Structure 1
Amino acid sequence: MEFKVNCGIWGAMFGVPVIVADNFLKLATGGQIKVLLYLLRYSGKMCSTEDISANTGVSPEEAEEAVLFWQQANVLSPQTSGAPAPVPSLMAQPSQSVEATAPAPVQKSAEPAPDHKTNLSGQEIAAIMADSQDIRELFKITESILGGLKNSQMNSIIWMYDHLGLKKEVIITLISYCASIEKTNTAYVEKIASVWAENDINTMAAAQDEIQRMSASRDYISGIMRAFEMTRRPTTKQAELVQQWKNAGFSVELIRYAYEKTIERIDKLNFDYINKILLSWRDSGFTSVKDVQNAEIDYKKKKNSSSNGSNSTDIEEYKSVINKFLY
């Protein structure tokens, strides 16, 4: 089904940053999208959390957290002329002394990232929060995404920021992505964070590109699982083959057809067998199911036309050709 938008009937319009449509439709919550649209509609106007709440239906606390989310994602620029005005912060400060002075960011370590986290106590975490506005904001935004934070999650955020050296907006983007796929356990988040740090994925652009790649890979694997009627995730070895098929440009439709051929021949799911079929088809120049089906029809016609007077040479030639896309 296709749709065409007719903007003329709407009268006055306002712009939405392309980055929102490209990268945040899955990652942002409905409330965050509502707040952003309201602020974009009234760009340049001072907006309080009460204004936003009254016009979007989200609570004042959710409105503040949403603004902070978009600021950290570099969609809203708090101090830029013409951008939506920042909502006054309602965040409670840890102490009076912190309010009186500008908070200093946590000093990022120049040492290589450790392979484990330091298990900070609640008192130690509170001290870090008192010294770092970045950490306070990270906790607040993460809480708006995941709900109340456990000690292990706060430790994880500090580790990603302080020891891995990931930027605030990158950590927020990572946590938002993990929430969108419902995989928010600290071990999973930290595994991706470590890979990002190792591969210098530490800007919004790089993080968004990586999320697009990861999303495409997940969609491809999900398509393969449906094609193979699998009820569990592929093993490590199977996942490696799936990634090879994706890199080679094999469509899910073609892989499904190879799976059907495998079931016909050996009556079970066998990734190695399917892989041999796919490689044989590629070597024969077949890039679609239609290519394979046309080749099968041609070979069957050839066999039927020569069935009355075929010699051993014809039979061997046929076997050789047919084996290219059955084994």
Structure 2
Amino acid sequence: MEFKVNCGIWGAMFGVPSIVADNFLKLASGQQIKVLLFLLRCSGKTCSAEEISANTGVSAEEVEDAVLFWQQANVLSPQTSVNTPSAQPIMTAPVSTKAPANNTPAANTAVAAPDHKFNFSGSEIAAIMEKSQDIKELFKISETILGPLKNGQMNSIIWMFDHLGLKKEVIITLLSYCASIEKVNTAYIEKIASVWAEKEINTIAAAQDEIQSINAGREYISRIMQIFQMQNRPTSKQNEFIQQWKNAGFSFELIEYAYEKTIEQINKLNFNYINKILLSWRDSGFMSVKEVQNAESEYVKKKKNTASKNNSDDSDYEKYESVINKFLL
């Protein structure tokens, strides 16, 4: 289904930063989007949490959390605050994918093994929050993503920020992504955080590029599972084959044809068998089903011609293994 905007009925308009549509439609909650749209509509005007709440249906407390989220995402300026009797007007800042210079924690960026994580007690964490506004803000916005934080989650966030050196907006992006795919266990989040630190992924732009790459890989695997009619997730070894096929540029159509050939020959799914078929085709210069089928047809014709010349039974030559499928198991 296609959709078209009815431009003829537009009245007054206001701008929405491209980064919001490009990076946060999946990661931000509906309430956070509502608050941002209202703030953008009222740019230059003083707004109270109560006014925003009345116009968006979002509670005043959630309004403040949403503003903090967009501040940490660098969509609103770090000075932005919801107006209270003594608060300043909300101001929007030009969008940048770079974090403010003073937002980089002075930390050891080396990747630590899980057993080197922090293990602060509740009182120690409270003391850290008292001393660090960054950690305090991280906890608050993390709760809007993960719900009430447990001690282990708080330790994990401190570890990502203070030890891995990930910036606040990157940690928020990571947590939002993990929540969007419903994988919010601490071990999974820390595994990705460690990889990002090792790969020096420490801006929103870099984090979004990495997320897109991860999603593309997940979608590729899901398509392979569908082709192979797999009920369980691929094993580590099977994932290695899948990644090789993706990197080699094998089309889904060609992989499916190799799968069909495998079922015909051995009547079961065998990644190693499929891989050898694909490599054999590639080495022979065939990278599409049409090219493979043309080569098979030529092979059959040659065999039939040879059979005719030798007055042999054609059926004997129809039971062949295509030259492009010859490989050792």
What per-residue deviation string (whole Å, max 9, x for no partner) do you get for residues 158-192 of structure 1? 00001111100010011111111111111111011
1:8 matched to which residue of 2? 8
What per-residue deviation string (whole Å, max 9, x for no partner) do you get for residues 1-30 of structure 1? 444434333233322222222222221122
- The CA deviation at 1:326 is 6.5
**Pairs within 5 Å for 1:76-225:** 76-79=76-79, 86-88=81-83, 108-110=106-108, 112-115=110-113, 116-225=116-225
Q: Do the aligned partners of 2:108 and 2:162 also contact (CA within 8 Å) in 1? A: no
- Out of 265-274 and 282-291, give the one that drifted further: 282-291
Q: Do the aligned partners of 1:53 and 1:63 also contact (CA within 8 Å) in 2? A: yes
1:95 matched to which residue of 2? none
The code of the aligned residue for 1:262 comes to T
Q: Do the aligned partners of 1:174 and 1:189 also contact (CA within 8 Å) in 2? A: yes
Query: CA 1:302–1:48 in structure 2 vs 1: closer, same or farther (change >3 Å)?
Result: farther
The code of the aligned residue for 2:234 comes to P
Q: Do the aligned partners of 2:35 and 2:52 also contact (CA within 8 Å) in 1? A: yes
Give aligned-pair identity as a percent. 71
CA distance in 2, matches of 1:297, 1:89: 78
Q: Do the aligned partners of 2:280 and 2:325 also contact (CA within 8 Å) in 1? A: yes
Query: CA 1:311–1:138 in structure 2 vs 1: closer, same or farther (change >3 Å)?
Result: farther
- The CA deviation at 1:309 is 2.7
1:93 matched to which residue of 2? none
- Out of 7-16 and 35-44, give the one that drifted further: 7-16
Q: Aligned with 2:141: secondary structure?
A: helix
What per-residue deviation string (whole Å, max 9, x for no partner) do you get for residues 96-149 of structure 1? xxxxxxxx9996333744322121100000000001111111111111011111
The code of the aligned residue for 1:243 comes to Q
Q: Aligned with 1:128: secondary structure?
A: helix
CA distance in 1, matches of 2:57, 2:321: 66
> Within the alignment, does 1:21 sit opposite 2:27 as a pair?
no
Q: Do the aligned partners of 2:105 and 2:165 also contact (CA within 8 Å) in 1? A: no
Query: CA 1:228–1:321 in structure 2 vs 1: closer, same or farther (change >3 Å)?
Result: closer
2:253 matched to which residue of 1? 253
1:239 matched to which residue of 2? 239
CA distance in 2, matches of 1:23, 1:242: 27
The code of the aligned residue for 1:259 comes to Y
- Out of 229-238 and 104-113, give the one that drifted further: 104-113
> Within the alignment, does 1:57 sit opposite 2:57 as a pair?
yes
The code of the aligned residue for 2:236 comes to T
- Out of 146-155 and 54-63, give the one that drifted further: 54-63
2:93 matched to which residue of 1? none
- Out of 204-213 and 246-255, give the one that drifted further: 246-255
**TM-score between both structures, scaled by the size of structure 2:** 0.83
1:289 matched to which residue of 2? 289
**Pairs within 5 Å for 1:61-80:** 61-79=61-79
Unaligned residue ranges in structure 1 (runs of 5+): 80-84, 91-103
Q: Do the aligned partners of 1:105 and 1:133 also contact (CA within 8 Å) in 2? A: no
CA distance in 2, matches of 1:5, 1:111: 46
1:45 matched to which residue of 2? 45
The code of the aligned residue for 1:236 comes to S
CA distance in 1, matches of 2:104, 2:152: 19
Q: Aligned with 2:268: secondary structure?
A: coil
CA distance in 2, matches of 1:326, 1:180: 45
The code of the aligned residue for 1:87 comes to V
Q: Do the aligned partners of 1:299 and 1:318 also contact (CA within 8 Å) in 2? A: no
Query: CA 1:325–1:47 in structure 2 vs 1: closer, same or farther (change >3 Å)?
Result: farther
CA distance in 1, matches of 2:321, 2:4: 48
Query: What is the total number of aligned residue pairs between the two structures?
Result: 308
